[in-house]
């Protein structure tokens, strides 16, 4: 049996992993879903008052996740969705994890592929510089385009009502697309040639608007460390909400099977 750490993305909380937790625990694994600092409260509380997460930074979040992971009795399998995929890559680059799986991952620094659907998805956060100083969210219409474009209107709205929260606007402004245009290394930089990195799998959804397959392919192809393992698999027709949309069990099993085969 394995210890599995599931790292959530932006605009959601650890609640977004509830199906995967039940699925993996039923197979006998230990599953941990650490929240980012300030994200520990329930969805409803963060909607009512998102100020505790407005000024959170990536370095503080990585440090928090490192504390959780290094307290475990063994190196876990680390899986991250969306920006949780970026955080998973940062953790693996720092020597953590027996294997890593990133699903619909946001890019690390140096990935310059920016498809039009990604720009449209993020525009509600980038359309006002003041949002970089506060927590900013999506309307349901914006959420549906970015996250749940393959779901029915009713299913999309149900997902929005149960899971959607604001997120630190600065993460989109400072660590997303703009990081590539700042001088020097930014907080989402990784050493793509790190020979000591644990095996890493990229899973992409073919219909993902906010983190399309081209972004994930480019991210995967950047890794060139001698002796390291990096794989990429794409599921056609699946959205950014692939971890919860119908058929998610196949994604979870693919992630776990690969990780257990390659864990070291």
| Higher pLDDT among residues 213 and 129, named by residue | 213
> b or e along 33-50 (b: 16 or more beta carbons within 10 Å of the residue's beta carbon)?
bbbbebbeeebeebeeeb
pTM: 0.96
- pLDDT at position 175 is 74
Average pLDDT for 30-35: 98
Q: At residue 7, does pLDDT exceed 80?
A: yes
Distance CA 237, CA 251 (A): 13
Q: At residue 176, does pLDDT exceed 70?
A: no
Average pLDDT for 206-225: 97
Sign for the CA dihedral angle at 159, 165, 169, 174 comes to negative
Per-residue pLDDT tens digits for 129-171: 899 899 999 999 999 999 999 999 999 999 999 999 999 999 9
Helix (H) and strand (E) counts in the chain: 10, 8
Query: H-helix or E-strand containing 162?
Result: helix 153-163
CA distances for 128 relative to 106, 124, 136, 209, angstroms: 21, 8, 10, 21
Q: At residue 118, does pLDDT exceed 90?
A: yes
């Amino acid at each position: 049996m394995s210890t599995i750490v599931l790292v959530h993305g932006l605009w959601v909380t650890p609640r977004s992993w509830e199906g995967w937790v039940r699925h993996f625990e039923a197979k006998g694994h230990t599953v941990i879903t650490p929240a980012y600092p300030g994200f520990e409260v329930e969805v409803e509380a963060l909607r009512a008052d998102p100020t505790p997460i407005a000024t959170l930074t990536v370095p503080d979040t990585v440090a928090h996740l490192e504390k959780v992971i290094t307290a475990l009795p063994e190196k876990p399998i680390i899986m991250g969705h969306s920006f949780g995929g970026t955080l998973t890559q940062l953790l693996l680059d720092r020597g953590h994890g027996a294997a890593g799986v990133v699903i619909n991952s946001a890019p690390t620094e140096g990935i310059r592929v920016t498809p039009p659907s990604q720009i449209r998805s993020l525009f509600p956060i980038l359309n006002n510089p003041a949002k970089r100083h506060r927590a900013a969210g999506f309307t349901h219409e914006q959420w549906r385009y970015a996250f749940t474009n393959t779901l029915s209107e009713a299913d999309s709205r149900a997902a929005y009502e149960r899971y959607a929260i604001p997120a630190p606007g600065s993460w989109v402004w400072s660590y997303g697309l703009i990081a590539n245009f700042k001088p020097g290394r930014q907080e989402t930089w990784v050493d793509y040639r790190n020979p000591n990195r644990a095996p890493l799998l990229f899973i992409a959804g073919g219909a993902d608007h906010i983190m399309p397959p081209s972004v994930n392919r480019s991210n995967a192809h950047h890794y060139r460390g001698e002796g390291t393992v990096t794989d990429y698999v794409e599921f056609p027709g699946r959205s950014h909400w692939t971890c919860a949309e119908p058929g998610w069990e196949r994604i979870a099993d693919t992630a776990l099977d690969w990780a257990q085969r390659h864990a070291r």
